[in-house]
Amino acid sequence: MQKIPEMDNLGFYDMDADYLMDGSLPEDLSDVDLSDIPEDVLEQLMADYFDNEYGDNEYGDPYDYDYQPGPPPELDYLEHFKACGLPTLQQGIQIISPILLCSICVRLLAGTGAPKVLVHLLSLGMGVVCLYLFFQSSLHYLLTFSLLGYSLLFLLDQTGYPRKGAASAVLCLLYLVTLELFVAEPTEWHKVRGAQMILAMKVISVGFDLDSGLIAEFPSVLEYFGYCFCVGSVIFGPWTSFKSYLNATSSTTVNFRWILSGLFSFALSMLCLLLSTCFSSVLFMNTEYKWLHAYRDALSFRTSHYFISYTSEASATLVGFGETRVDNKISWNFPVARPWKVELPRSLGEVVVSWNLPMHNWLKTYVYKSSRSLGQFPAILFTFMASAMLHGLNFQLAAVLISLALLSYIEFGLRKKLSSAFSACISSRACKPECGHQYQRFNPAVLVLNLLFGALAIFHLAYLGVMFDTDSELQEEGYDMQHTLSKWAHLDYASHYVAIATFAFYWLI
């Protein structure tokens, strides 16, 4: 037998002759270095091996590259739920339950009629404990931020400065930008920036409310820090005003509807977590159409947002927010998002409002109304820019929010013109019953046009949400400009071209 030099150098011909006689190889080749074997030699060895082992048996030729794979195996939904759903639910409950339990403790103490000092102190303590459970060493960023905010507001109040809201906004902006650019690690900052955003909104709102007189007396230390670190809103939100916090901690109402409302919101949050983690991952598995994949990725992001929204709704309700009295009947209602108006939208403007109701109210009250003197479009653009700054110096979020502002404004203007021209209920906002239009909302043509505009909104949402994919390696540090543009380039920048065409049509008419 002629020896191959490369094989002889590696010691292959020193093996026991029995292995060579029956054409088999030893089972343990872990000690054999194959890195220096030429590729053509390895291919020949593997071909001979498969010829000896399988030949023309029922499995066919393993080197038959014309083999066409069959359809992918059908998904076993029960097994998928066991493998994905149950662990996801377990982990979600483990993460969220401490916040809910701490919120219940604060509410129960307030329900006993305990002194307000104790309630504020417990609210502060429970909030700091939960922050430590979630962020560990990053907690000091939030503590420093709140201290700076209170110190500034106290100094301005003592000196009688009339623009505390604007000054607190400048402080928050400088603090957040400095931390993100020069102090915090990207991964660490990305984890804590949501809580930082909520805290910034609270500090700024206290400043503006002091200016307007909604807060009659300057908050005490415990009132301020109990509000800033209220366990019902300190991690996932939502934003609540200082006045609503005082009302929640002053009420002594504790009943079955309260606990039922909080637990119902928590159940909805777990459902949204399952949809985001387990359902969307298997949606459109057997198609390669990129727009269906874009819709799937955007849906996964939106349902994850609904998970956060319903979680914050549950914690806020359990701590005491949302109590309403109608005809001596007490109910609990603190909506954070309206998912049905996002998934089946009438317009992009409706999506903007329904995405996060408390934040929409904050932006409208403290940003839009303050900048309305600049004009409607500058005020809208400034509002979306303020939202982008609160979310951090992130090109992805800024690009999405500014694009959403432009798209919403163009749609609003176009539909307003069409509604006026045809006397039809086709504007971005649903008309009131006494609107006076000739063609009301149940007119067939009106229904078709509103459905088309709704479908266009869904198209824009898929495009804008496609870069929020949960599989990206950049997720832990935040997405950069290259990631965002590559996602939009994959979809041929279609939404922006449609926006340009829509604006041209709006301008021409």
Which residues are annotated as catalytic?
Answer: 391
Cα 415 from Cα 442, distance rounded (Å): 17
Exposure string of 396-432, with b = 16+ CB inside 10 Å and e = fewer, is bbbbbbebbbbbbbbbbbbbeebbeeeebbbbbeebe
**What residue has token string 């700024």?**
204
Q: What is the CB neighbour count within 10 angstroms for residue 324?
A: 10
Cα 294 from Cα 467, distance rounded (Å): 9
161 contact partners, CB below 8 Å, separation of at least 6: 167
- For residues 216 and 508, is the Cβ–Cβ distance under 8 A? no
431 contact partners, CB below 8 Å, separation of at least 6: 425, 437, 440, 441
Percentages helix, strand, coil for the chain (3-state, rounded to 5) are 70, 0, 30
How many residues appear in the chain? Answer: 509
338 contact partners, CB below 8 Å, separation of at least 6: 354, 357
Give phi and psi for 326, each to the nearest 5.
-130, 115
CA-closest candidate to residue 383, choices 357, 353, 363: 363
- State how far the alpha carbon of 76 is from the alpha carbons of 73, 292, 482, in Å: 9, 22, 37
Cα 59 from Cα 472, distance rounded (Å): 38
Residue 423 per-residue DSSP state: T
Per DSSP bridges, beta strands 329-332 and 323-326 are antiparallel
Residue 429 per-residue DSSP state: S
- Which pair of tokens denotes residue 368? 């839009």
Give phi and psi for 26, each to the nearest 5.
-60, 150
- For residues 365 and 204, is the Cβ–Cβ distance under 8 A? no
- Which pair of tokens denotes residue 226? 């109990």
| Identity of the residue numbered 358 | P
